[in-house]
Amino acid sequence: MKLQFELLKKEAKTGARLGKITYHGQEYETPMFMPVGTQATVKTLSPEEVKDTKAGIILANTYHLWLRPGDEIVKKAGGLHKFMNYDGPILTDSGGFQVFSLAKPKDITEEGVHFKNQYNGDKLFLTPEKSIKIQENLGSDIVMSFDECPPASASYDYLKQSVERTLRWAKRGKDVFKGENQLLFGIVQGGAYEDLRKMSAESLVAMNFDGYSIGGVANDHESKEDMYKAFHYSTKYLPEDKLRYAMGIGEPIDLVEGVIRGVDLFDCVTPTRLARHGHAFTKYGKINLKNAKYKEDFTPISEECDCYACKHYTKAYIKHLINADETFGARLLSIHNIRYLVSLMEEIRQAIKEDRLNDFREEFIQNYYGEKHD
């Protein structure tokens, strides 16, 4: 049975969306943050620990799982759900972001992209059709079209050509897509140019995808201004009744601003990556537990947090684990950081229900940054 989405409400002042995903009898509210499990695991965490954070959809990476263990192996195992023992929804990306980070401009052709296997140097070729086939073998619930990922610094002319190619690739992928219990998303590109985003979105909508992703917002360190423009210039041309997903977004303020601009889903490796470097999200900003001031701090990471780490351990203990290079420290911080972003989305959803999202934004900014943030 395919994942179902229903739009429940639009916030009075901003138009931010409250929705519901139904999946095998389970219900999840949107907007939602999705943890990333690149190699069919959210780094250092068990599926049970991920569920305990109240996360819903998780991501897996098409490129990495194609190279190892191989999509055919995952298919023989019964698909990603059985392979990794996760019964919630799973989304796979197309592999495009990783491939384009490895490919040289001359290796990008109309047919597909040539690149070298980062593990053994073998020459590989990925096409829109191949990306879809891999994701069908992986058995994810939401599949991404194969798109070109140009850098933020690309010229308008190059971006226009790239958008046009991504649209041709989207149609090729859709033409071969057979996933009976899968949704296929088209990916809106176009940098910070409204005319390109409009062309991309309207062309994809005409192809009638099951949902739509907003790409090119986490590449090459775009400015916040350009990121927020891309959100707005994409969502304004997308249908109300289908999911909108901003790819690679995980900074708390960007989640708030994305929701205000009509985005439903977000994902990023940020919470687990920060955790491995000793950093934790809190209501009052990020903290670095490597700092000496936490050596004798016997309070939780956050008094407001209900995660496993905050219920049972102190900053002093976690600082010790990080300094001693003990994996348990990264695990505890990963649990906390994912729970922080999931709970932030819970607060955002409540603000939408109460038609007070702008007020919530101001409160969040004053707490997190200690200042007004325009």
| Contacts for 112 with CB less than 8 Å, ≥ 6 apart | 125, 126, 127, 128, 130
In contact, 35 and 59? CB cutoff 8 Å: yes
72 burial type by CB count under 10 A (0-12 exposed, 13-18 middle, 19+ buried): exposed
Does an H or E element contain 253, and which?
helix 252-260
In contact, 92 and 132? CB cutoff 8 Å: no
| Contacts for 105 with CB less than 8 Å, ≥ 6 apart | none
State residue 32 phi and psi, 5-degree precision.
-140, 145
Please tell me which residue in 71, 147, 264, 267 is annotated as part of the active site.
Answer: 267
- DSSP strands (E only) in 231-273: 244-246, 265-268
Identify the CA nearest to 31 among candidates 309, 360, 283: 360
Rounded Cα distance, 119 and 320, in Å: 34
Nearest 10 degrees: Cα torsion 61, 64, 65, 66: 120
Count the Cβ atoms, other than its own, within 10 Å of residue 367.
12
Count the Cβ atoms, other than its own, within 10 Å of residue 359.
12
In contact, 138 and 71? CB cutoff 8 Å: yes
The order of strands in the sheet holding 17-23 is 4-10, 17-23, 26-30
Q: Which ranges of 77-216 does DSSP label H, i.e. alpha helix?
A: 80-84, 96-102, 128-138, 156-176, 194-207
Query: Is 93 designated active site?
Result: yes
Please tell me which residue in 71, 93, 141, 254 is annotated as part of the active site.
Answer: 93
Active-site residue set? 93, 267
